[in-house]
Chains A and B, each alone.
Chain A
Amino acid sequence: DGGITQSPKYLFRKEGQNVTLSCEQNLNHDAMYWYRQDPGQGLRLIYYSQIVNDFQKGDIAEGYSVSREKKESFPLTVTSAQKNPTAFYLCASSIASGGANEQFFGPGTRLTVL
Chain B
Amino acid sequence: KQEVTQIPAALSVPEGENLVLNCSFTDSAIYNLQWFRQDPGKGLTSLLLIQSSQREQTSGRLNASLDKSSGRSTLYIAASQPGDSATYLCAVGNYGQNFVFGPGTRLSVLP
Contacting pair B30 A99 (CB below 8 A) = yes
**Residues of B in contact with A, size category:** 20 to 34
Interface flag for A8 (CB, 8 Å): no
B5 to chain A, nearest CB (A): 9
Interface flag for A64 (CB, 8 Å): no
Interface flag for A63 (CB, 8 Å): no
Interface flag for B65 (CB, 8 Å): no
Interface flag for B101 (CB, 8 Å): yes
Residue in B9, B42, B93 whose beta carbon sits within 8 Å of that of A98 in the complex: B93
Interface flag for B75 (CB, 8 Å): no
Chain A interfacial residues counted at CB < 8 A: 27
Contacting pair B98 A33 (CB below 8 A) = yes
Contacting pair A108 B31 (CB below 8 A) = no
Bound-complex Cα distance A110 to B31 (A): 31
Contacting pair B97 A42 (CB below 8 A) = no
0 or 1 for each of A89-114: is its CB under 8 Å from B? (1 = yes): 01010000111111111111010000
Residue in B9, B95, B103 whose beta carbon sits within 8 Å of that of A99 in the complex: B95
Residue of B nearest to A3 (CB): B43
Residues of chain A with a CB closer than 8 A to B96's CB = 98-99
Binding site for A on B (CB under 8 A): 4, 9, 30-32, 34, 36, 41-46, 49, 89, 91-104
Binding site for B on A (CB under 8 A): 4, 6, 33, 35, 40-43, 45, 48, 58, 88, 90, 92, 97-108, 110
